[in-house]
Amino acid sequence: MSDSGRAGAETGRGARVGEASGGTPAPAKASGAPGGGTGPNRMLPRLGGVVVVLAVLAGGIGWLFKDELFHPFGDVRACEGSDVRLPGVIRPGGAAIPAGASDIHYVTRNGSAEVTFVSSQIPDFLHRARILPDGAPLFDEKYGTKGVADDEIALPDGLCGPSLRGPVWTYRPTGATGAGISVTVERSPAVNDSFRVPARAVVTYHLP
């Protein structure tokens, strides 16, 4: 090969080597292109996760405060439509309902209250409220009457809680003692002269 041809070949090889090692680099991927950056396709899943977390937190807070959110006055005993909140210790006619009474519900409207509760101390309450005189039989017809004997007896309209179980006995004093109070109590279906133990009662009375 002539000297001029050899020089041309060397020049060509040098140019190709320069292109391989020091040439212009390939353009970088755009930030929104698939496989790189934080474009819309990557942001959407993150936003979805944030929404889920916020929904869970909101649901948890709502559950914690459900009693305050869904009951009048924030009182879990109060039924919908109540217009007056009763005190912590409910005192129909001035006599407190039995200590330890459970499943208490009430509705208040137009100056009266209806309360239902479950207790094994109802005879004591009847005496303290002067509805039944001391020494009088529980089912003395001077002070009460036999009620419906159905298996389930609906509570008065507006009063929430489980139904009464028949048979029942209702006290409606008419004299000065215990006047203005009505008490319906579940009787024992097996023992003729006793209440259920425990028994559910419904008390209706005028608010002071």
Enumerate the β-bridge partners of residue 145.
Answer: 170
3-class DSSP assignment, residue 21: helix
pLDDT computed for residue 44 by the predictor: 60
Q: Is the separation of the CB atoms in 120 and 94 below 8 Å?
A: no
pLDDT computed for residue 67 by the predictor: 46
* CA angle (111, 195, 118) in 5-degree steps: 50
Distance, CA of 135 to CA of 31 (rounded, Å): 92
pLDDT computed for residue 157 by the predictor: 95
| Percent of the chain at pLDDT exceeding 90 | 56
pLDDT computed for residue 192 by the predictor: 87
Q: What is the mean pLDDT of each run of 10 residues along the chain (208 residues)?
A: 47 46 49 50 60 50 48 93 96 94 97 97 95 93 90 95 96 67 95 95 95
* pLDDT tens, residue by residue, 154-172: 999 999 999 999 999 999 8
Amino acid in the structure at residue 70: F
Residue that is written with structure tokens 């006047």 in the block: 179
Q: Is the separation of the CB atoms in 100 and 157 below 8 Å?
A: no
pLDDT computed for residue 31 by the predictor: 47
* pLDDT tens, residue by residue, 187-200: 999 998 999 999 99
Residue that is written with structure tokens 């109590």 in the block: 185
Distance, CA of 121 to CA of 165 (rounded, Å): 17
